[in-house]
Amino acid sequence: MEILSRATRHVPVAHVEEIDAMRPVAQALVIATHVLIFFGANAPSFVPPDLLILTRVSRESFFFISAFALTYAYGSRPFAFAAFWRRRWSGILVPYLVWSVIYFVYTAAVAVPRFPYYHWSATSLVGVSALAHLAVLVFTGYYHLYYLVVLVQFFVVFPLLWVWLEGARRWHGSIALGSFVLQCATDLALRAHWLPGFFSGKVESRALVSYPLYLLTGMIAALRYDEIKAWLRRNAAGVAVFTFVFALAVLASAHVHLATWFERFVAPHGDAFAAAALPYDVGAIAGLLLFGIASSSPSTPRWWRRMTRALALDSYGVYLSQMIWIPMLVRVVTRYQLASRVPWPALLVGALVTTYVLGVIFTEVVRRTPLAPLLVGRPRQRLITKS
């Protein structure tokens, strides 16, 4: 815990350029996860499960990024609850509610092959049952929108966590280690059936207690960013080797088929929260942060820094809209039988790139309209003309 041995403070700013560079990569991994689910049928049977183990770090990285960005923005200033909640409502909750309604209508109007998630009949968009269905959709989060359900829970406890971590700087190393142990223990308790029966499957992915490692370390990293940034620069090669080794290890563990405690409680086998995946997740997030540090270096070309900043601004819109584009692509691939005509690697890469580009185009257009606060959670970007 050498990197957490001394307390440091920083001057709060609106955003961190390094985090900006992380967002597009993490978003691409989110899309890659969904592309593998929808377009991986023609790949060798072991490919989608193995790649999903690696790409699902996108979810954990986004929780780390969100906790980091929120904590860094507040820095060491006195906490203003009213301003905090006003900003959260306009930036997160409003778009979440709007997109919940959009997907409620979309899933009723558009039948998507192999996608029964929240399927709803177009003849049942009105009435008490429709309202009940919409309420469930909002409460649990449509498919990928559960991320925002967890964030809302995080916002509720963030002021208390912020006060706690701000006053416990000397214990940050122990807290980070404890969050790792708690992360392992939560999944172990679920597998061993020590938790209430309702806490499984969908509930696990939507519960705040499922992500202590990423939320707490994200906050700690923001509070001690100067130290951690310097440590990562000194140990970049070690981080790369660590991540690569544990990526291979977690992939290997997924293929262990022995009647042992390891297979039952540690190996992934489709469980994204598995303890065996945690070292890889930690290394991958550290690697993403190193990528952000390199991308924001003064020696980095200006065009690259401007591009990453623009993509970071678009990432929320890309995330919210992606499950409009992916089902559309599924219909196109099915209609023209592209799965049998296009090699599976090209199909996966093509679907990923197409989804991302469509999301960026959509977001760039919406950001210049009055709908921007509703659809992408940002104020309208007005065009400036030279006179």
| Distance of alpha carbon 309 from alpha carbon 17, whole angstroms | 7
* Segment 112-149, tens digit of pLDDT: 655 655 455 555 666 777 788 788 889 988 889 999 99
Residue 385 within any structural domain of the chain: no
Give the pLDDT score at 11: 39
Q: How far is CA 124 from CA 103, 135, 202, 323, in A?
A: 14, 14, 24, 21
Give the pLDDT score at 23: 95
Give the pLDDT score at 110: 66
| Distance of alpha carbon 363 from alpha carbon 24, whole angstroms | 13
Backbone angles phi, psi at 80, to 5 degrees: -110, 100
* Segment 215-240, tens digit of pLDDT: 999 999 999 999 999 999 999 999 99
Q: Which domain holds residue 222?
A: 2-375
User: Are 356 and 30 within 8 A, CB to CB?
Assistant: no
| Distance of alpha carbon 277 from alpha carbon 88, whole angstroms | 31
pTM of the full structure = 0.90
| Distance of alpha carbon 347 from alpha carbon 42, whole angstroms | 9
Nearest CA-CA partner of 22 in 320, 230, 315: 315
| Distance of alpha carbon 18 from alpha carbon 383, whole angstroms | 27
Tokens 């700087």 locate to 169
pLDDT over threshold 80, residue 349: yes
User: Are 133 and 145 within 8 A, CB to CB?
Assistant: no
- pLDDT confidence band for 386 (50 / 70 / 90): very low
Give the pLDDT score at 121: 59
| Distance of alpha carbon 210 from alpha carbon 120, whole angstroms | 29
Residue 368 within any structural domain of the chain: yes
What's the gap between Cα 133 and its chain centre?
Answer: 25
Residue 382 within any structural domain of the chain: no
Where helices occur in 11-56 by DSSP H, the ranges are: 17-39, 47-55
Residue 101 within any structural domain of the chain: yes
Q: How many domains does the chain have?
A: 1
- What SS3 class is residue 8? coil
Backbone angles phi, psi at 301, to 5 degrees: -55, 140
Greater confidence (267 vs 230) lies with: 230
Residue 150 within any structural domain of the chain: yes
- What SS3 class is residue 45? coil
* Segment 309-330, tens digit of pLDDT: 999 999 999 999 999 999 889 8
Give the pLDDT score at 85: 73
Backbone angles phi, psi at 4, to 5 degrees: -110, 25
Six token digits for residue 284: 């991958």
Mean pLDDT of the residues in the chain? 86
Angle made by CA atoms 157, 162, 165, in degrees to the nearest 5: 120
Residue 185 within any structural domain of the chain: yes
| Distance of alpha carbon 286 from alpha carbon 283, whole angstroms | 5
Give the pLDDT score at 114: 59
DSSP letters, 278-330, are HHHHHHHHHHHHHHHHHHTSTTS-HHHHHHHHHHHHHHHHHHHHHHHHHHHHH
- pLDDT confidence band for 385 (50 / 70 / 90): very low
Nearest CA-CA partner of 319 in 116, 18, 1, 31: 31
Six token digits for residue 165: 């971590």
Residue 380, number of CB atoms within 10 A of its CB: 13
Residue 283 within any structural domain of the chain: yes
Nearest CA-CA partner of 254 in 35, 59, 49, 44: 49
Backbone angles phi, psi at 259, to 5 degrees: -80, 70
| Distance of alpha carbon 215 from alpha carbon 194, whole angstroms | 24
- Detail the DSSP E strand segments found in 284-330: none
Residue 384 within any structural domain of the chain: no
Q: Which of 39-48, 242-251, 269-278 has the highest mean pLDDT?
A: 242-251
Backbone angles phi, psi at 232, to 5 degrees: -65, -40
- pLDDT confidence band for 243 (50 / 70 / 90): very high
pLDDT over threshold 80, residue 84: no
| Distance of alpha carbon 27 from alpha carbon 310, whole angstroms | 13
User: Are 314 and 364 within 8 A, CB to CB?
Assistant: yes
